């Protein structure tokens, strides 16, 4: 598959039909990055979605087969521009977005900045009441002491600064107004035990999702709390995929 022009991002397409762009933790070079055992997860997602959809995957940001980038430039504006350029390079105009954790936060930015997002499914990140300041502080605290699990993806410890650049760029984002204006079909899923503590900073993901559930559902969000699982619920394909598959297939005719 080609690199996306002007971005150096490697992408792959699977299947045919309306497109679903999936963000981290799934990537075009998924098993090469995480090891052969991770192919099982990718296969499960492709098996669930490709009978009806084109699945677009990318090695982003700056991982796998994609080219290096300056981590300090990874603002929300650049991230959204890069991902829209990938979709264009793949010949895709409108797409559903599925993202988890960081790429869930990215999906919110995409959906509020571009009318090319036809449906939005995010997990492990609250659309309202999101702890941007605390996750920024935690990411900054890890610069120079990057966890081993993060280095599985990253080429260098300096690259970890990309997360701080992104979160800092959205600190003043008008969350309530922006999220309230999203009109495409939208879904949220999270593990009931998904609150985190990162570098000593509380990151209350599940608590924020529960706190704002009534407001989100009033706005038209489909909210799914998955009991008994934490932030690693994304790895539970048997629990997550049926919900995503139903959401996508229900809304395919809208894009």
Domains of the chain plus CATH, in order, are 3-254 (3.40.50.1820)
What backbone torsions phi and psi does residue 184 show, to the nearest 5 degrees? -75, 165
pLDDT tens, position by position, 9-55:
999 999 999 999 999 999 999 999 988 888 999 999 999 999 999 99
Reported confidence tier of residue 5, pLDDT bands at 50, 70, 90: low
Instruction: Provide mean pLDDT across the span 223-250.
Output: 97
Nearest-angstrom CA–CA distance, 121 and 246? 11
> Contact 121/145 with Cβ under 8 angstroms?
no
- DSSP result, 136-164: HHHHHHHTTS--HHHHTT-SSGGGGHHHH
Q: Which two tokens stand for residue 25?
A: 């933790």
Q: What percent of the chain clears pLDDT 70, i.e. is strictly above it?
A: 98
- 3-state SS assignment for residue 57: strand
pLDDT tens, position by position, 44-74:
999 999 999 999 999 999 899 999 899 999 9
pLDDT tens, position by position, 93-114:
999 999 999 999 999 999 999 9
Rg over CA atoms, the chain? 17
pLDDT tens, position by position, 144-182:
999 998 999 898 999 999 999 999 999 999 999 999 999
> Contact 63/154 with Cβ under 8 angstroms?
yes
Adjacent-strand bridge partners of 154: none
Q: What percent of the chain clears pLDDT 90, i.e. is strictly above it?
A: 90
pLDDT value for 1: 52
| Rounded alpha-carbon distances, angstroms, from residue 75 to 71, 72, 135, 205 | 9, 8, 15, 22
- 3-state SS assignment for residue 45: helix
Reported confidence tier of residue 241, pLDDT bands at 50, 70, 90: very high
> Contact 200/141 with Cβ under 8 angstroms?
yes
């Amino acid at each position: 598959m080609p690199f996306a022009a002007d971005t150096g991002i490697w992408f792959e397409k699977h299947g045919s039909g309306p497109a679903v762009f999936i963000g981290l933790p799934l990537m075009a070079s998924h098993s090469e990055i995480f090891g052969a055992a991770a192919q099982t997860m990718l296969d499960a997602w492709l098996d669930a979605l490709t009978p009806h959809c084109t699945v677009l995957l990318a090695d982003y940001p700056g991982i796998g087969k994609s080219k290096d980038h300056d981590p300090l430039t990874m603002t929300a504006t650049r991230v959204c521009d890069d991902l829209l350029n990938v979709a264009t390079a793949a010949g895709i105009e409108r797409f559903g977005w599925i993202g988890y954790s960081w790429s869930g936060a990215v999906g919110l930015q995409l959906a509020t900045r571009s009318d090319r997002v036809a449906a939005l499914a995010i997990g492990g990140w609250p659309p309202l009441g999101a702890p941007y300041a605390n996750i920024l502080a935690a990411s900054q605290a890890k610069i120079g002491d990057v966890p081993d699990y993060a280095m599985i993806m990253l080429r260098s410890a300096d690259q970890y600064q990309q997360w701080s650049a992104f979160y800092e760029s959205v600190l003043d984002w008008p969350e309530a107004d922006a999220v309230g204006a999203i009109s495409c079909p939208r879904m949220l899923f999270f593990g009931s035990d998904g609150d985190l503590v990162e570098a000593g900073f509380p990151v209350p993901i599940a608590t924020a999702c529960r706190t704002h559930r009534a407001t989100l559902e009033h706005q038209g969000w489909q909210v799914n709390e998955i009991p008994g699982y934490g932030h690693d619920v994304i790895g539970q394909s048997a629990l997550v995929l049926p919900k995503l598959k139903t959401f996508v297939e229900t809304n395919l005719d809208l894009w």
